[in-house]
């Protein structure tokens, strides 16, 4: 299967092959302008950083872009089913950041993360690691504390996603087969043309032994993250950010909007975090309205004088 027209990914300018302290491999790829401010970007649950090319392609001219996939995802070889959880992701996030600095130098660095990786970045912050000059987080699925009137319905929605991931088909004859599955899913209805193929190609790996394609991140690993987020102390313990932080949510007024969309706004108001949302978008906003997401990102940097 070829890359969809208009989504020809550039060859990396450099790669880092890292090994976490428990042996898990993580590869970082470098794109863009080595003279610009650094952006470190990663993905949502079950996805890969290359899935977001419609968004990060807009960074290539101005930014020194470092992409990485979390353990057991995307470009990385499968390591182990455990640990595959948010506390481990937060530690990996810190290790990757330091490895990038060691290899490519210290400079102004902005973390840009979506969904799962945004939660990992928030968790690292409340665990005392603020290594970014700024953070931009897209639609982190923050869940309110016990006692909040909407917590039960949010937990129920997480259980539905968990069961769907557990029952997910894991092997395919071709990435086109998975892309067709995405096109039938309601939650993918607003993604740009060609993105279904891009996500399929970046989240499957070829198995030479039998000529099949299998999910890089098995559904069984993806599944528990949908409910684990409810156990994290993010809602309770996040304080006013020490450095610039923007959360960009999906449209809380959209018909059928996820309940988490409004919780992003509430979370930001509670903790003094800058907030914006992209009208007409769902949780997959970086691949639904990538240009508008990029504009919010660059406007935020300009407001805080982050230019080099």
Predicted confidence at residue 2, as pLDDT, reads 44
Predicted confidence at residue 5, as pLDDT, reads 52
Q: In what order do the strands lie in the sheet with 212-215?
A: 171-172, 212-215, 204-207
Q: Kindly calculate the radius of gyration of the chain based on its CA atoms and give it in whole angstroms.
A: 18
Predicted confidence at residue 8, as pLDDT, reads 84
Beta-carbon contacts of 190 under 8 Å, excluding residues fewer than 6 positions away, are 280, 281, 282, 284, 288
- Quick one: 14-145+232-303 is in which CATH superfamily? Alpha/Beta hydrolase fold, catalytic domain (3.40.50.1820)
Predicted confidence at residue 1, as pLDDT, reads 41
Predicted confidence at residue 222, as pLDDT, reads 96
Predicted confidence at residue 304, as pLDDT, reads 96
Q: What is the pTM of this model?
A: 0.95
Predicted confidence at residue 258, as pLDDT, reads 73
Tallying the residues shown for the chain, one arrives at 308
Mean pLDDT, consecutive 10-residue segments, the chain of 308 residues? 63 98 98 97 97 97 98 97 96 97 97 98 92 96 91 91 95 96 93 94 96 96 95 91 96 81 93 96 96 98 90
Predicted confidence at residue 7, as pLDDT, reads 75
Q: How far apart are CA 7 and CA 27, in angstroms?
A: 21
Asked whether 239 and 270 are in contact (CB, 8 A), the reply is no
Domain ranges of the chain: 14-145+232-303
């Amino acid at each position: 299967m070829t890359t969809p027209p208009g989504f020809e990914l550039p060859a990396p300018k450099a790669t880092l092959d890292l090994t976490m302290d428990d042996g898990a491999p993580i590869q970082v790829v470098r794109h863009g302008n080595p003279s610009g401010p650094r952006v470190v970007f990663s993905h949502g649950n079950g996805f890969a950083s290359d899935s977001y090319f419609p968004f990060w392609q807009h960074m290539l001219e101005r930014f020194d872009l470092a992409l990485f996939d979390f353990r057991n995802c995307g470009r990385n070889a499968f390591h182990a089913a455990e640990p595959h959880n948010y506390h481990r992701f937060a530690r990996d996030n810190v290790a990757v950041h330091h490895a990038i600095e060691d290899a490519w130098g210290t400079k102004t660095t902005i973390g840009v993360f979506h969904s799962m990786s945004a939660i990992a970045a928030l968790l690292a912050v409340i665990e005392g690691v603020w290594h970014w000059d700024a953070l931009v987080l897209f639609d982190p699925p923050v869940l309110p504390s016990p006692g909040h009137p909407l917590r039960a319905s949010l937990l129920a929605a997480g259980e539905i996603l968990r069961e769907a991931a557990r029952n997910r088909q894991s092997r395919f004859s071709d990435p086109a087969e998975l892309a067709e599955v995405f096109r039938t899913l309601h939650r993918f209805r607003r993604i740009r043309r060609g993105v279904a193929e891009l996500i399929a190609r970046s989240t499957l790996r070829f198995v030479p032994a039998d000529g099949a394609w299998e999910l890089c991140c098995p559904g069984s690993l993806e599944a528990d993250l949908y409910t684990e987020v409810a156990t994290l102390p993010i809602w309770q313990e996040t304080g006013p950010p020490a450095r610039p932080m923007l959360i960009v949510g999906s449209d809380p007024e959209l018909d059928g909007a996820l309940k988490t969309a409004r919780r992003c706004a509430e979370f930001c108001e509670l903790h003094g975090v800058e907030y914006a949302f992209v009208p007409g978008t769902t949780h997959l906003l970086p691949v639904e309205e990538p240009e508008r997401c990029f504009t919010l990102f660059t406007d935020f940097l300009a407001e805080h004088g982050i230019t080099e």
